[in-house]
Every structure is written in C-alpha cells, then in structure tokens.
Structure 1
Amino acid sequence: MEGDIKNVITYWLDGEISNFIKVWLSIYTCLCYCYLAGKIVQKGILRFLALFPIICLFIFLPLKLHSLHLGITTAFFVAWLSNFKLLMFVFDKGPLSDPLISLPRFITVACLPIKIQHKSFNENKIKDNPPHKTSKKGHKSMLNYAIKGVLLASMIKLHDYNDQIHPLVIWILYGFHIYFALEIILAIVATVARVSLGVELESTFNEPLLSTSLQDFWGRRWNIMVSSILHPSVYEPVHKLSEKLLGRELAPLPAVLGTFIVSALMHELLFYYMGRTRPTWKASLFFLLHGACLVVEIITKKVVKNRWQLPRLLATVLVVGFVMVTGLVLFLPEMLRTNADLRAFEEYAAVGAFVRDVSRALGFAPLANATRI
C-alpha cells in the first residue's frame, strides 16, 4: 500500500501537476481569444463560428488529466460551465456579455461559477442571468464546514472496515461522501477566489437534505451553480419556444424536460472523463426519471394548488428517500464503475503521505502524525 501511495505521489508531482498547469494556461489563452473575438465579431452565427473551436477544445482538454479531483473539477468548470457561458455569450447573453467587463474579470467569470455583483452590470443582463434566490443562504459558517469535514474524514476511515459493513450501508456512505466532498472542495475554491480575486462563487448546496419537493431539491438546494447556468442557457430558450407552440400553461413542462436531458448528457460526459469507458446510459435514465417526476409534480401542484399539501417532515422524507433510492440504483453504480471510490482514496492517502513527509522534513512531527490515514 505504501508503495502504491508513493507511486501516486510521484505521478502527481512529475506528470499530473504539470499537465494541470498546461491545461489551465491553455484555458486562459483561449479565453483571451474569446474576449477579443467578442469585441470584434458581432453576436450571432459569426461569433459562434469564431468561438466554436474553443468550445470543442474545452471538451477535449480535460482528457489530458487523469486524477479524479483535478480532472473532474476542470471538466466541470470548463467543459460544462465555461462552454455554456460561451454559448450564451455568442448571443450576447449571460454574465460574459457585460460591455464593461475587463479581460481579467472575463477570464475569471468564464472559468469559475462567479456571481456578478458590481453595479455597472445593466438591468437587461441581470434579467438574462438572475441571481439565485437562495444565494445568501448558501454562505455557511465555518462550523458547518468543520462538522462536514469531520464527517467526511470519518467516512473515509470507515471504508477501512468495508468487509464488516453491509453493502447497502457502504453505498449510502458513498452518497454522503460525494455530497460532503463536493461541498468542501468547492468551498475551498470559493475561499481562494474570494481572497485572491475578491469575487464570490455561486453557492453550491443549500441543505438538500431539507428539500420538501423535487422542485425544491433540483431548483433551490442541489448544485445551485449548475441550476444557475442551465436556467438561462437551456430552460429559458426552450420555455420561450414552447410558449409560442403550446401556450404559457404548458411551456414549463418541455422546458423542464429539456433541462434534465441536457444535464443527463453532461453527466454522461463527466463520467466519461472520470473513467474513459463507454456509457451505459443509466445516469441519463436517472435524470430523465427525475425530469418526468418533476413534470408530474408541477402538474399536480397546478391541479391541487394550495388546497392540500403533505406535512413538511413527511414531504422531506419522501423526497430525500426517492432521490437516495434512485441515486443508489442508477447514479452511484456508474460512478463506482469508473473506480472513482478507489482512486479518490488513493489520492487522499497520497496527499496525506505527501504532507506527512514534508512535515517530517521540516521538523513538525505532530502534524506528520496527524496526517496519517
């Protein structure tokens, strides 16, 4: 095991970190080009043709990274969020279309889920990409993150006893592991962005375990930064088209389904980055199922209106239970198929061993002992 960890450390320092730097330098260079293209080329088909090679390159670049954390974080920020922002920018919409935006701010907003808060951003642009209603609630205390950090560390340690734990319990632990890890990693990125750039990242999660409906879970609590980019780039255009074809009452339904279809395809792409394996489309089935159920929920709410509703506690249990069961059956197996769990533990162990070796070299024995996994 120790030899494997040393191999992972060597791989990271000799190859992966170097590739990571090259990939992000390429991203910054491409975004400089996009900024200049936006100044020279008019919106519409000509700007699309100018930016299309960059969009394709952003899909390819994450393939140069193989580590789970660096690769998937880059893929999520660039192949998904950046590309969708660039597609909106083609039509002079979204956060990149502010005519007063500077090059450094353009690059930062393009490759990170940044919240635009300066007053010069005109009202029409704000309407194109409205701030999320729960963004203020997304800022959690350090105690909140500390508790989740302790829980994540405990779950990592529990995996040493997988042979003595029921498989169903292990899978549930994996689900919480993913949630806590995502929130903590993105909180770290947000802190770095706040300190170094003076900007705020979009909120990631808003206590999804308290959701009272699928609409509440997907729209206001789970992965808010994805919702904030899918709403203006997919939901709104499909809604406008559907409103012309089907009328205002039915327009939200195809818009919701279209959003979940796009999300399904992007998750399949992320899983490909993760494991370089052909998709089984179970993850797509997960999102299509939830999209269909959300459509049924919206229709039911319109029919019932405020005449009847479930008690809050019961609604939360049903919603969270439905998400967990469908996630365990359809979503989580796709992640485990890529050996994401084993690779994550190897990377955790490699980072711990690296910190321990550096601490010993610097004479910090207590820190070296504390990082032992």
Structure 2
Amino acid sequence: MEGEIINFTMVWLIVCMSLCYCHTAGKILHPGAGRFLAISPVVLLFFLLPLQLTSVHLGGATAFFIAWLANFKLLLFAAGNGPLSATPPLPLRRFLALSCLPIKILQNPSEKQSPKNHHETLNQEPKSFLNYWIKALIVALMVKLYDYSEFIHPKVILFIYSWHVYFFLEIILAITQFFGRTLLGIELEPQFHDPYFSTSLQDFWGRRWNLMATNILQPTVYKPTVKIAAKVVGRKWAPLPGVMATFLVSAIMHELIFYYLGRMKPNWELTWFFVIHGFALTVEILVKKVLPEKRRLPAAVSVPVTLVFIFSTAIWLFFPQFMRLKIDVKAFEEYAALVSFMKKLAFPLVS
C-alpha cells in the first residue's frame, strides 16, 4: 500500500507538470499542427503512466482520468476545441482540473446563483449528502455480502456487482464534484441522472450514465463521424454511423482500461458488449425516425425492457471481465490493506 501511494503521488506530479507544459504551449502556439506536435508527447506519456500503478482503485481511476479524459481533451485542445479552449484562456488551476477530472462546468452558472435557485440548492444539499451516505452504506453491505458468495448463484453475484460498480462510481464522481466546487468555486454538472429510470438506450447512454464519457466522446468521435457520413448518406442518416463509431471507440478505451487493471490480453467480450449496444441503439434511433411518438412504448413498459437489456448484456459480457481479471479479488485485498494502513496512521505505537 505504501509503495503504491508513493507511485500514485509521483504519477500525479508528472501529470500536473505535463499539463502545466500544455497550458504554456497553448499560450504560445495557435491551434493546429504545431500545437498538436507539442502536445502529442504528453498524450503518449498519459497512455504509459497508468502502467506504473497496479491497484484497482488508484490505478483504475488514474487510467480513466488521464489515458481517456485528459488525452481526448488535449487532442481537442490541440485543434482549438473542447473545454480547455476557452476565451479568454483558462487560468492554470482551472486548466489542470478540467483536463483530467470528470467534471463539467454548468453552462449557465448565473441561473444557479439566483436567490431562488440558491435557496433550493441549500435545501437539496442535505438530501444529496444523505443519499450518498446511504449508497456508501449499501456498498459496504455488498462488500460484506461477498464473504458468502459460495452460497449465492454466480449470476446473482454479478447482478449485485453491477450495482456495486454503479454506486461506487457515483460516490467517486460526487467526491470529485465536491472538491471542484470547494477548490475552484464553480458549479459542476452531475455525471449520473438516475440511470435506473432510463426509458431507452438513447436515454441511458446519452442523458443518464457517466455523462463525462459521453461529453468527451461526442466532440471527438460522434460529431466528426456524423460530419463525414453526412456527405455519403445524408444528414438524416448520418447519426447512425456516428453512434457505431462512438461505441467502437468506447469499446477500445474500456479494453485499454481493463488491461491497466488486470495486465491480461483482452478476450474482446467488452468490445462485443459495446458493439451490441451500439447496434441496438442504432436500431432504436432508426425505429424512432420512422415510428410516430404516440405509437412508442409507454415508460411503464420501456423502463423495465431497457433495464433488462442492459443488465442481461452486462452480466453476459461486461461484468465477467472483473472475475476473469480477478479485479474483484484485488479490490477486496485493497479494502483490507487500506484499513490496515489507516490503523497504522491512527495507532502508530500499537502497530
């Protein structure tokens, strides 16, 4: 644990220094080939840095933050687009945070600061705080439940694990938002919108689930693909190849992150998961284009159908990767190591 924390600290020091360099390069170089050539070594470095970490929690979060989010944002920055290409240029502290953290500033912060909305926000914060504590308690109970996994059907374990991952991600992103609000003084958009109420795959992937990944894939993959496809198949049908391209890139990035976590050759089941969802979402969009809204399924039917599809495909192709790479075992070992480490810090003489 001590060695991993030291490596984690060193990795993030390198990340901060690299982003300071990118911030300076952005002031000197105009968007285009010159800025891209200046930033490309940092992009390569950010793909390599997660290999210095072996833990599931520190390594997995770092891989997502820098190999995916930061790299895609830096590529947009090289082209003069994305959240880092603000006018006037972002101050360094905000540039560092927006580069590698899963945060997005509200587009209309003035509305958020109105007396009425401010009062509503103060009333909602205790409820939100309690909500996250409840979810943290549920995660703790799930971890304890795994001690009896030999008495539970493997598919049920995978179902429980799916909720574990969701709650854990939401808590991590909520912590990130808290520090963003506290340290940067800015209001941030939520990254989850009750995905268990999704009425369709389009609703789930586009408006409810891990919106930071959605927001970074849209300008880097979806929009350029739609622009190219529009010249071939027309504007009406251009979103269809755009959706498939977006899911393929998402599949590649997930395969990469799981490689960081397990250091094993991929078996491409993750890729198939995203290909199936990309194809299903493409069909869904196609049906919506030809079917009148009044003839579509009501929410009472579409919500359970959507959730059944998501859970069944995830249990079939996505979550088994956690077991194959023994990520679940490593995670529980890390929980135990963290408890031991905290005890040493709290009671050094007893240890």
TM-score, structure 2 length as denominator?
0.90
Q: Which runs of 5+ in 2 are unaligned?
A: 110-123
Alignment pair present for 1:46 and 2:34: yes
SS at match of 2:30: coil
Is contact 1:112-1:201 (8 Å) kept?
A: no
Residue among 77, 80, 98 paired with 2:68: 80
Q: CA deviation at 1:188?
A: 1.7
Amino acid at match of 1:342: V
SS at match of 1:97: coil
- Taking structure 1 as reference, are residues 116 and 205 closer, same or farther at Cα in structure 2, changes over 3 Å only? closer
- Taking structure 1 as reference, are residues 362 and 118 closer, same or farther at Cα in structure 2, changes over 3 Å only? farther
SS at match of 2:293: coil
Whole-Å separation in 2 of the counterparts to 1:107 and 1:71: 19
Alignment pair present for 1:267 and 2:242: no
Q: Which residue of 1 aligns with 2:6?
A: 18
Whole-Å separation in 1 of the counterparts to 2:70 and 2:313: 29
- Taking structure 1 as reference, are residues 360 and 46 closer, same or farther at Cα in structure 2, changes over 3 Å only? closer
Whole-Å separation in 1 of the counterparts to 2:187 and 2:247: 27
Q: Which residue of 1 aligns with 2:117?
A: none
Whole-Å separation in 2 of the counterparts to 1:330 and 1:247: 34
Alignment pair present for 1:104 and 2:87: no
Q: CA deviation at 1:70?
A: 0.5
1:170-224 deviation line (CA, Å, top 9, x unaligned): 1111111111111112212222232223234442211111111000010011111
Q: How does 1:339-354 map to 2 (within 5 A)?
A: 339-354=326-341
Q: CA deviation at 1:102?
A: 1.3
Q: How does 1:17-166 map to 2 (within 5 A)?
A: 17-100=5-88, 101-117=90-106, 141-166=128-153
Amino acid at match of 2:268: W
Is contact 1:203-1:225 (8 Å) kept?
A: no
Which deviates more, 348-357 or 147-156?
348-357
Is contact 1:115-1:199 (8 Å) kept?
A: no
Whole-Å separation in 1 of the counterparts to 2:291 and 2:349: 66
| % identical equivalent positions | 51
- Taking structure 1 as reference, are residues 238 and 118 closer, same or farther at Cα in structure 2, changes over 3 Å only? closer
Pairs aligned (count):
334
1:331-362 deviation line (CA, Å, top 9, x unaligned): 11112211110111111122223334544569
Whole-Å separation in 2 of the counterparts to 1:114 and 1:99: 19
Pairwise CA RMSD of aligned residues? 2.0
Amino acid at match of 2:243: V
Whole-Å separation in 2 of the counterparts to 1:255 and 1:59: 25
- Taking structure 1 as reference, are residues 312 and 17 closer, same or farther at Cα in structure 2, changes over 3 Å only? same
- Taking structure 1 as reference, are residues 158 and 356 closer, same or farther at Cα in structure 2, changes over 3 Å only? same
- Taking structure 1 as reference, are residues 200 and 19 closer, same or farther at Cα in structure 2, changes over 3 Å only? farther
TM-score, structure 1 length as denominator?
0.85
Whole-Å separation in 2 of the counterparts to 1:173 and 1:110: 33
- Taking structure 1 as reference, are residues 51 and 357 closer, same or farther at Cα in structure 2, changes over 3 Å only? closer
Residue among 268, 272, 279 paired with 1:285: 272
Is contact 2:50-2:63 (8 Å) kept?
A: yes
1:76-97 deviation line (CA, Å, top 9, x unaligned): 0100000110111111001111
1:229-271 deviation line (CA, Å, top 9, x unaligned): 1111111111111122211111110111111011000000001
Which deviates more, 169-178 or 40-49?
40-49
- Taking structure 1 as reference, are residues 199 and 335 closer, same or farther at Cα in structure 2, changes over 3 Å only? farther
- Taking structure 1 as reference, are residues 163 and 118 closer, same or farther at Cα in structure 2, changes over 3 Å only? closer
Alignment pair present for 1:168 and 2:155: yes
Alignment pair present for 1:247 and 2:247: no
Whole-Å separation in 2 of the counterparts to 1:301 and 1:119: 31
- Taking structure 1 as reference, are residues 244 and 273 closer, same or farther at Cα in structure 2, changes over 3 Å only? same
1:65-115 deviation line (CA, Å, top 9, x unaligned): 111111010110100000110111111001111132112221111111232
Whole-Å separation in 2 of the counterparts to 1:307 and 1:119: 33
SS at match of 1:257: helix
